Structure 1
Amino acid sequence: MAADWSQLPEDLLQQIYQKLNNQFYQLRFRSVCSPWRSSISKNHLNNLPTKLPSSCSNSNNTSITLSLSKRSIFLITPPPNQQTLNPWLIKIGPDSNNQTHLWHPLSRDTQFPLYHPIIIDFNQISVRDLGREFVIGNFPSRRPLYIDCNNSLDPGKVVVCDTWHNGIDRCSLLLTIHGTGELAIFRCGDEQWTLIPSISEFPYTDVCMFNGRPIAVDIFGEVVEVRPDLSLDLVVEHGMYGGKKKVLVESDGELLLLVSGHLSYDYDDSVLDDDGEGIYDGAVQIDVFRLDEKEKKWLHVKDLGNRVLFWGEDCAFSASFIGNGNCVIFSDAVFRSVHSAELGISVFHLDGRCTSPLSDFPCYSNLFWPAPEWVKLNIDNSRVCVLD
């Protein structure tokens, strides 16, 4: 008699689920059948709370809490015998009302306009898991109302480490950047955020997970790893003095650093960014560096091969494409450009050192909304949710 796998005990299903460190496999686990799906909470965040304190002390802000939501980034790829078709890039996650939506992959707040509800069955369509994005705070509001800017978080990019060990047992944590430029950490069981004493006099600009380790970079390229005892282990010293913005991205097992600048500097102080600074109206240029951990330095990368790097508001990720690559696709909102390209997205080509509108390259613009025709043929418009 064939075994009925749908009748496995719930505690056994939960043990199996916890062994799946890759989120995409976790999604497929929940897609097997209704009992397997119901055995795991939809908003399972490795025992992390869905509400977080907005400050790092027990002062006036203790009554203010911020929401935590998780979004997953996927590349839906065509069947092996139809490689000439365009893939589809999506981001799936809940809104402020905990309703699942399709989000623009490079935007924190923009949802895809679903005129008809759809369901995507990941067991039927080939999908590549490109990463995830954790968002603190409600949307579309970019930041919470600060009571004390020296005590509040800057809820931009946040990363979650679910394989961390605190010396006793497995412990999940969140890592983000405090409003002062210091690192802030929230561990399972904590009641408030903890500021990590810095080993640098300069503010940190980005955080990421690399090989299961929480990593941060400051404005001059110094990289540190957060250790379980909350000490900082120096990975790369200072030595990179150019660029207005820096962001980390893991790509094919490598840690890359994207550094932005401008080809022209037409400064406009009549338009201010989120930090109250004037905006540069000029073409963006981007340099890519690869971390050499053995030599403890950044190496300049001039050719990414068939890899494409994506730089969004609160996320950065990469993907490989047959016959295309060696470029960075970025949201203009990252740089607060005065003049945005069509759809607010541009392409920087590493070989020609130039920036182009996304619309000039259908092989890239077709990655975004709307869904390609071959995808539409494989989804059911009669259902009312996105299967995740």
Structure 2
Amino acid sequence: MDTPNPRIAIPWSDLPPELLDTIAKRLAAAIDVRRFRAVCRSWRSSTPPYKFPTIELPFFNNCQSSGRKHSGAYFILTQRIVYRIQLPNSKNPDFWLVKLEDSDNGKVRIINPVTHRKIEVPPAVQMPKVLNTLDFHVSEVCKGYALRYVNPSNQSDDYYDFRYAKKVAFSANAETGEYVVMIIDLRSRLLRITSDRKKWTLFHGSVGSYNFAAAKFYDVATVKGRLCATDASGDIWAFDSKFGWRISSYDGDGAFKRRMVELCDGELALVEEMGKVDGPCDLIFQVKQPFVDVAVYALSKLLKKWIDIKAMHGGIVVVGDDCSFSIPIKELNAARIFYTDRYSFLQSEILAATGDYTCFECDCREGVCTCILELETVAADDEVANDYVKCVFDGFYGQNIGVYESETGETGTALMFPEYASIFWPPPAWLSHR
């Protein structure tokens, strides 16, 4: 006679509420919460839908803007999540990268995964009104953050996409609700605000001869669970609630941008963008050819120093405005690095006598940014392979994305390589056919 199994099988739908609550509290990713709620009715009723908390932050006290009044204005911290969507159980390696931001009306905004700009969906593009995550393999790639401007006395959309901070990082304790927001402002200074003291504070203090308040910062992000920042000199700093300490440094010089990113193998890397313009620029015409060189340095765990990577492993690296990430792709022999390439030229008063020009990053919306209004500038735009590509990528054209191929060293606008840009836009046909 068979001995009965002493364990009693309990249906998933009959799990006790306290156990469901314990499981739900451990789900940090929005997609995991959605999958959890999709199991059955009892699980769905036990857990509310994922919603990033509403965090209101004060407007900057000494904000240099376009001269318009900001009385009563404040910021709302918004979260953008990058998803990788694939067909389930398919040998097709194709995937789609999409960045979504929840809006106040319950809908979502589609944000360019590389830039911070909204993608306007043309009428000809078929987008499903509802995406059933059970029909696809959906994974969360990374999270980015931004400051959304709110002014009850001025409802104009002119301010919605204007960047009041070059970069925003966020860290929170899920149990206590305490949080820290760190930003790099338009003057490249590092500021922070905490849940217990809602006031923007310039990160100051010194370590030896290093002065935080005088430093020029390029990036701030959460790296391996810690808030970190990198500056113009190549130093990387990690921060606790009180101060910071140096992780590593290298002799970096001449970069317009420097971003931290974790590579596919877990290695920390710095991706730099440097100008290729040697002489004066003719401001009468728009700049069409890309003028950005890309360099990647990885922090070798063995050597404890930065080494230049000439040929990276197969995958893509996205060096974005609000978040950076990497995805391994075994079908690729080398890495493709996507970055923003909207730059402008200006002739400064100091250099005007010699006829030289300087370059700066300006990706604010025309009509809002004072540098567009007051200075003679020109922005690099997307160069396309042909008119057909421009038609296919309608809605994506003008987003100013560059791509660098690590094996060949080729660089150019993403739409010069449509086979590369297709991971971002347009949405794959199979997305609407499920």
Q: TM-score, normalised by structure 1?
A: 0.78
Whether 1:120 aligns to 2:120 is: no
Identity of aligned residues (%): 21
Report what 2:330 is aligned to: 322
Report what 2:383 is aligned to: 341
Going from structure 1 to structure 2, the CA distance change for 1:352 and 1:227 (only over 3 Å counts) comes to: same
1 CA distance for matches of 2:78 and 2:411?
Answer: 33
Going from structure 1 to structure 2, the CA distance change for 1:65 and 1:34 (only over 3 Å counts) comes to: farther
Going from structure 1 to structure 2, the CA distance change for 1:297 and 1:182 (only over 3 Å counts) comes to: farther
2 CA distance for matches of 1:197 and 1:269?
Answer: 41
Q: 1:55 aligned to 29, 53, 60, which one? A: 60
The amino acid that maps onto 1:104 is N
Q: 1:79 aligned to 88, 94, 100, which one? A: 88
Going from structure 1 to structure 2, the CA distance change for 1:212 and 1:107 (only over 3 Å counts) comes to: same
The amino acid that maps onto 1:124 is D
- The secondary structure found in structure 1 opposite 2:255 is coil
2 CA distance for matches of 1:300 and 1:317?
Answer: 18
Report what 1:383 is aligned to: none
Q: 1:28 aligned to 32, 35, 38, which one? A: 35
What value does the CA root-mean-square deviation take over the aligned residues? Answer: 3.4
Going from structure 1 to structure 2, the CA distance change for 1:238 and 1:370 (only over 3 Å counts) comes to: closer
Report what 1:225 is aligned to: 238
CA deviation string 1:276-301 (max 9, x = no partner): xxx99752110011124676532211
1 CA distance for matches of 2:20 and 2:218?
Answer: 40
Q: Which entry has the higher C-alpha Rg, 1 or 2?
A: 2
Report what 1:332 is aligned to: 341
The amino acid that maps onto 1:240 is G
Q: CA deviation at 1:97?
A: 4.9
Larger relative contact order (Cα-Cα within 8 Å, sequence gap ≥ 6): 1
Q: CA deviation at 1:156?
A: 2.9
- The secondary structure found in structure 2 opposite 1:72 is strand
Q: CA deviation at 1:225?
A: 0.3
Going from structure 1 to structure 2, the CA distance change for 1:7 and 1:51 (only over 3 Å counts) comes to: farther
- The secondary structure found in structure 2 opposite 1:291 is strand
CA contact (8 A) 2:340 2:402 kept: yes
Superposition map of 1:295-374 within 5 A: 297-324=305-332, 325-333=334-342, 337-342=379-384, 343=397, 344-374=400-430
Structure 1 stretches lacking a partner, 5+ long: 145-153, 272-278, 379-388
2 CA distance for matches of 1:124 and 1:280?
Answer: 41
CA deviation string 1:223-269 (max 9, x = no partner): 100113x2111112352123121111122322211111123335449
Q: CA deviation at 1:96?
A: 5.8
Q: CA deviation at 1:35?
A: 6.1
CA contact (8 A) 2:34 2:50 kept: no
The amino acid that maps onto 1:241 is D
What stretches of structure 1 move > 4 A for 4+ residues in a row?
11-14, 33-38, 60-63, 114-117, 266-271, 279-282, 293-296, 334-337
Report what 1:131 is aligned to: 142
CA deviation string 1:334-356 (max 9, x = no partner): 75542433433232122222213
Going from structure 1 to structure 2, the CA distance change for 1:311 and 1:341 (only over 3 Å counts) comes to: farther
Q: 1:160 aligned to 166, 170, 181, which one? A: 170
Structure 2 stretches lacking a partner, 5+ long: 1-8, 63-68, 150-156, 344-360, 363-378, 385-396
Q: 2:257 aligned to 208, 233, 245, which one? A: 245
The amino acid that maps onto 2:278 is Y
Instruction: Report the number of matched residues.
Output: 352
Report what 1:204 is aligned to: 217
Going from structure 1 to structure 2, the CA distance change for 1:43 and 1:128 (only over 3 Å counts) comes to: closer
CA contact (8 A) 2:312 2:407 kept: no
Report what 2:248 is aligned to: 236
CA contact (8 A) 1:328 1:349 kept: yes
- The secondary structure found in structure 1 opposite 2:342 is helix
- The secondary structure found in structure 2 opposite 1:16 is helix
